Every structure is written in C-alpha cells, then in structure tokens.
Amino acid sequence: AKILVLHGPNLNLLGTREPEIYGRDTLADIDARLAARAAEAGHALESFQSNAEHALVERVHRAREEGVALILINPGAFTHTSIALRDALAAVAIPFVEVHLSNVHAREPFRRHSYLSDLAVGVICGFGGDSYALALEAALRRLARSAN
Ligand code: DQA
C-alpha cells in the first residue's frame, strides 16, 4: 500500500531547531528510517514537508487521487490553527495518524488543542523522532489487518 508522511511548518529545521525539545535527528534522517521500515514491510512510503498551509492541503487532495491508504501527519503549528487542514483530511477520508515529536500536553496551554485529533485514528506524541517510528508501526499493523 501507499503511505504518505506529511510534515508541517518549521519541521525542515529539525536537528537544529530547539534540539532540547525536538531532538537532534534531521527530517532527512527520520524520513530515511521511515521509508526503509515501510519498504521492509512491503509498502511504499513518500514524505512531503511544507511551511505553507495551502501546499499541505493540496498534497492531501492529491493523496486521494494517488490511492494513498494511510497518512502520518505532523502538522506542526497548524495542529492548533488549521481548520483548512482538518477539512482536507475529512474530505479525502484517508485514515491518518497524528504525530508530534514533543509532548504537546506538557507545554504551553495553546498546544493542548488540536483541530485534527478527533478525526485521527490515533495520536502519538512525546517520543522525539521515535514518535514517527511508533506511528508507522501502528499504521503497518492497521494495514496488515485491513489486508486480511
Ligand atoms: C510539534 C508540536 C507543535 O506544537 C509545534 O508547533 C511544532 C512541532 C511537535 O512535533 O512536537 O511545530 O508538532
């Protein structure tokens, strides 16, 4: 199956961005590990990062045309602001896992609210780069179940 990984604003700076919060892995490190793990499980995984809300919305729209089976998304700050991204994910009806490197519940109060979580299959936060790896494992299990 096709798995799409979406990264929102400022995640291109991973590795140098507030490393005490977000860790030292770069986005390229994370994406390479995800692609390798997905390939090992027999799936195709593509990653896309943008700082622009419209680009993420349009990538979600394209995912439906491409037959993407599952999305992993770290929406960055759009988590807390974007009704447009929420509506796009609802419109394409592709199951998605919401991912955050940091524990958004242990930070500023404005990070506790997500416009996406109630639509997500599940949410993983607080494990740094491992949040993505754990989200992918959950996604792989779900895909394996739906293949039977
Ligand atoms: C983040 C948490 C968000 O609150 C923040 O705006 C980010 C990254 C995370 O991965 O921990 O950009 O999504």
Is 74 marked as binding a ligand?
yes
pLDDT at 73: 99
The confidence score (pLDDT) of residue 81 equals 98
Ligand 1 center–CA 8 separation, angstroms: 9
In a domain? residue 49: yes
Q: How many whole angstroms separate alpha carbon 19 and alpha carbon 126?
A: 13
21: CATH: 3.40.50.9100
CB of 41 sitting under 6 A from ligand 1: no
Mutate to test the pocket of ligand 1, among 18, 74, 103, 123 (most ligand atoms within 8 A of CB): 74
Per-residue buried b or exposed e for 18-37, using 16+ beta carbons within 10 Å of the residue's own CB: eeeebbebbbeebbebbbeb
Q: Does residue 1 belong to any structural domain of this protein?
A: no
Render each residue's pLDDT in the chain as its tens digit; 148 residues. Answer: 999 999 999 999 999 989 999 888 999 999 999 999 999 999 999 999 999 999 999 999 999 999 999 999 999 999 999 999 999 999 999 999 999 999 999 999 999 999 999 999 999 999 999 999 999 999 999 999 998 6
22 is catalytic: yes
- CA–centroid distance, residue 106 to ligand 1 (Å): 12
In a domain, 114, yes or no: no
Task: Give the per-residue pLDDT at 29.
Answer: 96
* Number of domains the chain is built from: 1
Strand partners, 55: none
- Any ligand 1 atom below 6 A from CB of 10: yes
What pLDDT does 105 receive? 98
Q: Which domain holds residue 96?
A: 9-70+84-105+119-147
Has residue 141 been placed in a domain?
yes
Q: Which two tokens stand for residue 91?
A: 């419109």
Residue 24 in domain: yes
Distances (CA, A) of 113 to 9, 62, 64, 104: 17, 27, 27, 9
pLDDT of residue 148: 66
Does ligand 1 come within 6 angstroms of the Cβ of 114?
no
111 lines ligand 1 (CB under 6 A): yes
ipTM: 0.99
**Residue 123 lies inside a defined structural domain of this protein:** yes
Is 102 a pocket residue for ligand 1 (Cβ < 6 Å)?
yes
Asked whether residue 75 is assigned to any structural domain, the reply reads: no
Domain presence at residue 2? no
Nearest-atom index, ligand 1, CA of 10: 12
